[in-house]
Structure 1
Amino acid sequence: MAVGAHDADRAPPRWLVLAAVVAIGLNLRPFLTAVGPLAATIRAGTGLDYEGMAWLTLLPMLLMGLGAFAAPAIRQRLGARRAVLGALAMLGAGSALRALATDGALLVATAAVCGLGVAVVQAACPGLIKQEFPRRVAPVMGLYSAALMGGGALGAQIAPVIADLSGSWQEGLAWWALPVMAALGLAWRALPGPAGPAPATHATHRPARQLLRRRRTWMLMVCFGVMNGGYASLVAWLAPFYQQHGWSVARSGSLVAVMAIAQAAAALLLPTLAAARQDRRAWMAAALAMQAAGFAGLALWSEWSPYAWAAIGGAGLGGCFALYLVVALDHLPDPESAGALSALMQGGGFLLASLAPWITAALHSRTGDFMAGWWYHLGCVAFVAALTLRLNPARYAVSMTGAPSMAR
């Protein structure tokens, strides 16, 4: 008891922990969003074609998916504090190494290092937030998500400026190592150690094995993955698309920033608006309609109002992302099982989403334009919308506790 009292006396103030959570979130997307605005310069410097460039988004998102599956083991073996600190160091090192990237293979390798670091952080942060803010999990998770998406906006906006000032696209990518190291220092000061002994391994993994026998689990994975594929493609190809239309690097980067800001705002706002009723389908339909409008605008009227299409599509993606996280938790009353379902949805979803930038690049290689990619994602929105209609709360219990056969 004396040790616990001593640790409590030395516990950092809540505002400092919250500041660390925000700082961590801000650093998890710039390494992805900085690439798109600099794509033309990177291609010229490395010789990567569009499909090769797609690996700079595909590989990190693939690792994010694997990281979500590995979340229980990471929390048990390392604890949230050590996992986050080590992963931030890895993200900082991967970012710094981009200053030395002179060819495509090395640049893709740095993307893998950064992606692995982000995967571990994303696996550990939700458990840490629940540990430190047990009565405010939803708003703190919302703030963390908004910081994550806002960091994406900063990466897209600032990287072209740094590249222009330094005359080097490598420095435009590598500069983010500095704020990552600042976040690491803050996290070292603010993040507490484990609150108690880690749960038994079999207790952590049993719900996942059971959930994988339910059709609803696989449906949520598919919806989450196909929907997030739209985000992955926009991060990778929105700026290059408008650069093909004569836009400058800085101006096209601002489009990605606008998309990310709208995404963050919707991720905070739509779950709040949807909180009055457990049936979230009306708000999910609104988010999907915004996605459809954004992709249709890019495909049909790309020159008419680019910032509007970026903002509308980004808001739809951010709102749908947050609402699907809420809906996954709605399916099960038990926090352990609900958390396992959310982790499975994100793990399978990110694995599926990682393919989208490559698919869009392959369509570009065959057509010479990104239009086919925007039409592909418009079709994906329609597919997810059809499946979302099945998310009736009255059927949640049956979908998760019925006959275990996937043929049900």
Structure 2
Amino acid sequence: MRSKTTSSLLLFAIFIVALNLRPAITSIGPLLDIIREDLMLSNTQVSLLTVIPVICMGVFAMLAPVLNRAIGLNYTMYAMLLILAGAIGIRFLFVSFSVLWMTSLAAGISIAVIGPLLSALIKQYFPSHVAMVVGIYSFGMGMGATLSTGLTAVFYEASDSSYAFALAVWAVLAIIGILAWRLSATHPMEVKQRQSTVHSGVNPWRNRTAWSFLVFFGLQTALFFAVLTWLVPIAVTNGMTLLQAGTLLSMMTVVQIVMNIGFPLVLQRLNSRTPALVFILVLGILSIALMWTAQPVLFSAGVLLLGIPLGGLFPICLLMPMDATESAEETNTWTAMMQTGGFIIGGILPLFIAMLYDYTANHHVTLFVFLLLFVAMLVLALRIGNSTAADKTVDATSH
């Protein structure tokens, strides 16, 4: 049992580490066209810089329980934050597509390991306040995404148009993350795991509900990164200046932050999360309809409305495996499985969007793909809600 002081330090560390889970990826978006023109790349090639880390976050998510068992939580966290800081910092020293590609790969691996471990940590140390702590966690990620999307262009202008500096400056956050983790790690901390997980609970790879979680997480991840990558180009195509489009993106991410911290608190008071999930998905469909009009006022309103589902979907995805499992060990396994497949899906779909735009040069096609993602998630949300209700009925009958 940790004291109130040590618990507060751990919450602070979770928040600071969460700040680091998006800037390596989201800082690319505001400079997408600049990087593409400077390095003479296609839209598909430049989008790989955001796609690669997302896919890595899926492929390497299962390393989290393996490294936790092999070297422990603290050493794993230090190692991943050091890799992240190094990968981002190297972008200042070398400017080429191959370097950006390799640093994206390294950043994706480190983020892949950190995510499931933080989820398991929350389940183990804050079992009575899971939704609230998930709110802090997702708030940190939302803040990291907001800072990187809003300030990267500012750093670019302040450094005499050096996108290398604007991308590399986010290594400072990773260094702060190491210091914050060190502050919390002065008190013993671990995520407990058994040597064998065969009899430790339901195997998620053989569970239909877990597979629904995986696909849902993949669709919301694809939507999140695709929007952050393509919103500014879409807005510029609709007649906005780069500054206006960047400001609109920043305003949308502010809405996301409010949802990151506020939505989990609302969910904590609800017996069923499905109605709230369906509601924000319907708002997402409405937001795309408003953006489709291309009218400046309606387009801007649609973008701001889009911030609600983008901010609310991630925390509810984090809660899904926590609700479905009984122990931190199971949560770690289910979350790793969900993120393994989910991030692969979330990386491939934005690449598909980039290829479509290279082929069509029409961002209405991009918006249509966004709409399809929302509809698919709505169908899945209803399925997950029905499955959860059925599981609870079975549990009640068995007892």
TM above 0.5, yes or no, is yes
One-letter amino acid of the counterpart of residue 395, structure 1? A
**Residue 173 (structure 1) shift:** 0.7
**Residue 263 (structure 1) shift:** 1.9
Determine which structure has greater relative contact order: mean sequence separation of CA pairs < 8 Å that are 6+ residues apart, divided by chain length: 2
Q: Name which of 145, 149, 168 aligns with 2:142.
A: 149
Q: Name which of 162, 178, 202 aligns with 1:184.
A: 178
What CA distance in whole angstroms lies between the structure 2 residues aligned with 1:333 and 1:127? 11
Q: Name which of 185, 196, 199 aligns with 1:202.
A: 196
What CA distance in whole angstroms lies between the structure 2 residues aligned with 1:344 and 1:199? 16
What CA distance in whole angstroms lies between the structure 1 residues aligned with 2:256 and 2:18? 14
* TM-score, normalised by the number of residues in structure 2: 0.89
Match of 1:264 in 2: 257
**Residue 338 (structure 1) shift:** 4.7
In structure 1, stretches of 5+ residues that fail to align are 401-408
CA contact (8 A) 1:76 1:199 kept: yes
Cα distance, 1:184–1:198 mapped onto 2, change above 3 Å = same
What CA distance in whole angstroms lies between the structure 1 residues aligned with 2:58 and 2:212? 16
**Residue 375 (structure 1) shift:** 0.4
**Residue 115 (structure 1) shift:** 1.6
Number of paired residues?
A: 393
In structure 2, stretches of 5+ residues that fail to align are none
Match of 2:99 in 1: 106
Match of 2:377 in 1: 384
Match of 2:293 in 1: 300
Match of 1:211 in 2: 204
Match of 2:389 in 1: 394
Matched, 1:31 2:24: yes
What CA distance in whole angstroms lies between the structure 2 residues aligned with 1:70 and 1:369? 39
Question: Within 5 Å, which residues of 2 pair with 1:344-359?
Answer: 344-359=337-352
Match of 1:227 in 2: 220
Cα distance, 1:375–1:399 mapped onto 2, change above 3 Å = farther
**Residue 171 (structure 1) shift:** 0.9
**Residue 140 (structure 1) shift:** 2.0
CA contact (8 A) 2:291 2:299 kept: yes
What CA distance in whole angstroms lies between the structure 1 residues aligned with 2:253 and 2:284? 13
Question: Within 5 Å, which residues of 2 pair with 1:2-401?
Answer: 13-167=6-160, 168-192=162-186, 195=189, 199-203=193-197, 210-301=203-294, 303-333=296-326, 336-390=329-383, 391-392=385-386, 393-397=388-392
What CA distance in whole angstroms lies between the structure 2 residues aligned with 1:15 and 1:272? 18
Cα distance, 1:111–1:34 mapped onto 2, change above 3 Å = same
**Residue 16 (structure 1) shift:** 3.1
What CA distance in whole angstroms lies between the structure 1 residues aligned with 2:135 and 2:296? 33
One-letter amino acid of the counterpart of residue 58, structure 1? V
SS in 2 for 1:102: coil
Q: Which runs of 4+ in 1 moved over 6 A?
A: none
What CA distance in whole angstroms lies between the structure 2 residues aligned with 1:185 and 1:246? 44
CA contact (8 A) 1:47 1:104 kept: no
One-letter amino acid of the counterpart of residue 191, structure 1? A
Aligned-residue sequence identity (percent) comes to 25
* TM-score, normalised by the number of residues in structure 1: 0.87
